[in-house]
Chain A
Amino acid sequence: MMTDLTFHLIVVTPEKIFFDGQMRSLVAPGGAGSFGVLANHAPLISTLLPGRLVLTPPDGKKQFLTIGSGFLDILNNEVTLVTETIIQESSSESS
């Protein structure tokens, strides 16, 4: 397993940069179904539906964000997630 591979994730809303840092994986509610992103993902642009975003930072502690609709862009390990609202943030190690 090459779990130490990370990509750079930036999550922005119109109000501020919500997150900017390294991430091991993320699972996002895409317009064509939920999908996962790991390092070295192919270039992608996807719409995002309102839903739950699961982030796994390098320390392995999963984080959950509830986001509004938005977009996700991947190019060369640079992942940009733009959304108009991040409704709520919760952190949990279970599930």
Chain B
Amino acid sequence: MAETLRELKTRIRSAQKTQQITRTMQMVAASRLKKSEMIFRQSKPYNERMELILSHLMESSQGVSHPFFESREVKTIGLVLVTSDRGLCGGYNAAAIAKAEAFLRTPRTQAVQLILIGKKGYDYFKKRDIPILLKFLDLGGRPDYPKISDITDQLIEAYLSGVLDEVNVIYTQFVSALSNKPVFKKFLNLQQKKEGLQSDFILEPDAEAIIDQFLSRQITSRMYSALLESFTAENSSRMVAMKSATDSAEEMIEHLSLKGNKARQAAITNEILEIVTAGEAIKG
């Protein structure tokens, strides 16, 4: 017999304790998921309306120049990577980091600078020799608008001052409660319509002023939406990971109980056998 009854009992107890923890974490993640999914869905109309205004603005501001519209030679690419601050969320961070790695491995002539949102991505990349331009480690899964506004302001400043010539974002899309996928998106890619429909919107105070104010808001809105989606995905990923941990703990407890029962049965059989043999020996 490999393990004694006592050892098995200890192992069952520890599995039960683990299960209790993972089950609690699963429930916490489930309630956070519900909350962040709601916030994410509620933020969608704002984002959609901003896109709508953007399209109107693009139609009626042809010929207006703005640094965002200028195409320039790309020397430095900024890569924003959104990861979580805390672990135990299954493959969520690994998948996003793998996406970033795939991008970094692609041979290119331009330099790449990282902008890391989330501790996990920072922990992964801090020892590497890829320059980290900015890092934001204090969101804690709670995206609040002013903070995100600050992040985009810094990104825009880096773009306008020529530190970055292109900005891309890797974040995790929330497909459903059971599936997420990391996506790669170009971020500051505002294309001005050169031709086509010219709408006659009245622009107040004037096109330049609106574009100047609007574009940074628009980008903040996109960033806000991407982060909300990532946080929702993080919570769903954590919930699924904790669910499977709880399930495998359950399986292990069953398996160990079975083993324990067998061991107990074997011990009893052994004892009876000993008594019977002893009795036989005395008789004989």
- Residues A13 and B46 in contact, CB atoms below 8 Å apart: yes
- Residues B202 and A44 in contact, CB atoms below 8 Å apart: yes
Those of A6-46 within 8 Å (CB) of chain B = 10, 12-17, 30-32, 35, 42-46
A82 to B221 Cα, complex, angstroms:
11
Name A84's closest neighbour in chain B (CB-CB): B145
* Interface band, chain A: 20 to 34
- Residues B203 and A10 in contact, CB atoms below 8 Å apart: no
Given known A45-B60, A46-B204, A82-B50, contact A71–B210 (CB-CB < 8 A): yes
A73 in the interface (beta carbon within 8 A): yes
Give chain A residues whose Cβ lies under 8 Å from the Cβ of B284: none
A43 to B217 Cα, complex, angstroms:
21
Name A15's closest neighbour in chain B (CB-CB): B42
Interchain nearest-CB distance for A25 vs B (Å): 18
A80 in the interface (beta carbon within 8 A): yes
* Interface band, chain B: 20 to 34
- Residues B200 and A43 in contact, CB atoms below 8 Å apart: yes
- Residues B204 and A47 in contact, CB atoms below 8 Å apart: yes
- Residues A44 and B204 in contact, CB atoms below 8 Å apart: yes
Hey, which bits of chain B sit against chain A, CB under 8 A? 39, 42-43, 45-46, 49-50, 52-53, 56-57, 60, 145, 149, 199-206, 209-210, 213-214, 217, 221, 224
A75 in the interface (beta carbon within 8 A): yes
**What does the 1/0 interface line of A69-90 toward B look like (CB < 8 Å)?**
1010101000010101000000
Give chain B residues whose Cβ lies under 8 Å from the Cβ of A75: 56, 201
- Residues B202 and A43 in contact, CB atoms below 8 Å apart: yes
The total of interchain contacts (Cβ-Cβ below 8 angstroms) comes to 85
Hey, which bits of chain A sit against chain B, CB under 8 A? 10, 12-17, 30-32, 35, 42-47, 69, 71, 73, 75, 80, 82, 84
Give chain B residues whose Cβ lies under 8 Å from the Cβ of A32: 204-206
- Residues A43 and B210 in contact, CB atoms below 8 Å apart: no
Interchain nearest-CB distance for A7 vs B (Å): 16
Given known A45-B56, A71-B217, contact A16–B42 (CB-CB < 8 A): yes
A84 to B218 Cα, complex, angstroms:
11
Give chain A residues whose Cβ lies under 8 Å from the Cβ of B209: 31, 47
Given known A17-B42, A80-B52, contact A35–B145 (CB-CB < 8 A): no
Given known A71-B53, A80-B53, A82-B50, contact A43–B43 (CB-CB < 8 A): no
